[in-house]
Amino acid sequence: MMESNCKESDIKIHQPDVHRVFDMANVIENAPQPSTKDCTLYMFRGIKIIGYLSTDKYKILYYLWSIIVNFFVTLYMPVGFLTSFILRLDTYTASGFFTALQIWVNCIGCSLKMLAFFFLYKRLLASTEYMDKLDVRVTATSDKWQIRKIVALSNRALTLYATLYLSYASSTFWSAVIKGKPPYQVYNPLFEWSGNTRNFAFHAAIEYALICFHCLQQALLDSYPIVYITILRTHLNILSRRISSLGNDSTMNNCQRYEALVQCVLDHKNIMGLYNIFSPVISGTMFVQFLIIGIILGITTLHIFLYADALAVVASLFYVASILAETFPCSFLANSLVDDSAALSHAIFHSAWHNEEPRYKQMLCFFLQHSQKTMQLTAMKIFPITLNSNINVVKFAFSVYTMMKQMGFGANLTSGLGIES
C-alpha cells in the first residue's frame, strides 16, 4: 500500500538459481559471497506479497492487489470473525466459547501488529544502507563465513515460521471441511454456505485464502526481529574480535593501528545507526504482542481451570506454548544482544593498548565511553524485551485469573450469556 524508493534489486546481490528456490536459506560454499542485506531477501519478498512494497511494473494492478489483501485480511477478517462469533453465541458451550475467544483475540493482535508495522516498516528499508557500510569492513575469511551463515539462518527463519503456520492452517482447513463446516466460519454477508454444496466450497476456499495470507503476515511479524537482531549480534561479534586483536597485530605500525581503531569507531557508529533505525519497529509490534499474550493467557487460564475437560486442557496448553513461542526467540536474542553489547566494552578495555601512543589511548577512551550504551530493546519504552518479560506476562495472567475467580467471573459469565457449562 505504500511505495518505497528502495527496490528489491537494491537489497540483494545474489539472485538464487531458479532451480533452487531456497538457495538463500542454505549455506552453499560455492555460491557468491552474500552481503548482510541478503538476510532480508525473503522478508522483503514477503512484504511485497502482502502489498506493502510495490513492484516496478504494473503499479496500478499492484495497488489494487494491496487494497484487496489488506482490506479483507488485515481489516475485515477480525470484524467478520467477531460478527460470526456474536451471531453464533447461543450455540457455544462454555469451553467452545473460550476457544473461539482465544482465536479472535489472536486475530485482532495480528491485525494491530500489521497496522503498527505499516507505519514503521520503511525504517527497515532504510536500514540496508548501514548494512552496506558494515560489509565494507568484512574482509577476513572467518567474518565472511559468519555473514554466509546468518544469511541462511535469517531466510530460514521466515521459511520455517511460514511453513509451520501454513501447515496448521491447512490441517485446520481439511479437518473442518471433512466435518462439513468452513474452517473458521468468518461472517459472509453475501451468501449462506449451509445447505448448498457450491456455496460451501466457495466459502471454505475464501476462508482458506484469507487465513494463508494471515499466516504469512504472522510469519513476517515473528521472523523480522530475529533477522535484525541476528545481524546486529553478528557485526558486534566481528567488531569485538577485530578490536581484541588490534593491539597485538605486529604487521601494523602505530599510525596504521590508530587508523584501524578509527575505523572500528566508525563501524560501531554504523552498528548503532542500524540499532536506532529498526528498534522502534520492534518496539511497536512487540508491545502489541506482549499485550495480546497477556490477554490470551488470562482467557486460557480461566478456560483450563473453570470449564475445560482433559482434551481441552491439552489443546489449550499446546496453544499457550505456541503463543509464547512467538515472543521467546526475540526475547532470547534481545537478552543476548545486551550481553554482546557489554562484551564489546570488555574487548575494548582488555585490548593491548598500554604501549600505544597518546592519541591511540585518547581515541580508545572515546570509543570505550560510547560503547557503554547498552543495546536494550524495549516495548514502547515501557518494559524491556527480555526472557523475564515472558515470565512476568505469565505471572500477570495468573493474577488476573485469581482476581476473576474471587469475583465469581465464571458463574456470572455462564448465566449472563446463557451458554452451557
Measured in degrees and rounded to the nearest 5, phi and psi for residue 230 equal -60, -40
Residue 418 is predicted with a pLDDT of 54
Q: Is residue 419 domain-resident?
A: no
Q: Where are the beta strands (DSSP E) in 4-51?
A: none
Q: Is residue 414 domain-resident?
A: no
Q: Is residue 334 domain-resident?
A: yes
Residue 3 is predicted with a pLDDT of 42
> Residues near 233 by Cβ (< 8 Å), separated by ≥ 6?
333, 336, 337, 340
The pTM (predicted TM-score) of the whole model is 0.86
- State the residue range of the domain holding 353: 34-409
Overall domain count for the chain = 1
Residue ranges of alpha helices (H) inside 88-140 are: 94-120, 122-126, 128-135
> Which set of grid coordinates corresponds to residue 144?
565472511
Give which of 277, 237, 282 is closest to 380, Cα–Cα: 282
Q: Is residue 311 domain-resident?
A: yes
Q: Is residue 109 domain-resident?
A: yes
pLDDT in tens, the chain (421 residues): 444 444 444 444 344 443 355 677 777 777 788 899 999 999 999 999 998 888 888 889 999 999 999 999 999 988 988 888 788 777 766 766 777 777 788 888 889 999 889 888 889 989 999 999 999 989 888 999 999 999 999 999 999 888 888 887 888 788 778 878 777 778 888 877 777 888 888 888 888 898 889 889 999 999 999 999 999 999 999 999 999 888 777 777 888 888 989 999 999 999 999 999 999 999 989 988 888 888 888 777 777 777 666 766 776 777 777 777 788 889 999 999 999 999 999 998 888 788 788 898 888 898 988 888 888 999 888 888 988 888 887 777 777 667 766 766 656 665 655 555 5
- Rounded distance between C-alpha atoms, residue 96 and residue 91, angstroms: 9
Q: Is residue 8 domain-resident?
A: no
Residue 13 is predicted with a pLDDT of 38
Helix (H) or strand (E) holding 151: helix 141-178
Question: CA angle at residue 214 from 161 to 128, to 5 degrees?
Answer: 60
DSSP structure string for 229-256: HHHHHHHHHHHHHHHHHHTT-TTS-HHH
Region of 58 on the Ramachandran plot (φ > 0 left; ψ -120 to 50 alpha; else beta): left
Q: Is residue 25 domain-resident?
A: no
DSSP 5: S
Residue 401 is predicted with a pLDDT of 67
Q: Is residue 140 domain-resident?
A: yes
CA distances for 193 relative to 84, 178, 180, 300, 313, angstroms: 13, 15, 10, 30, 31
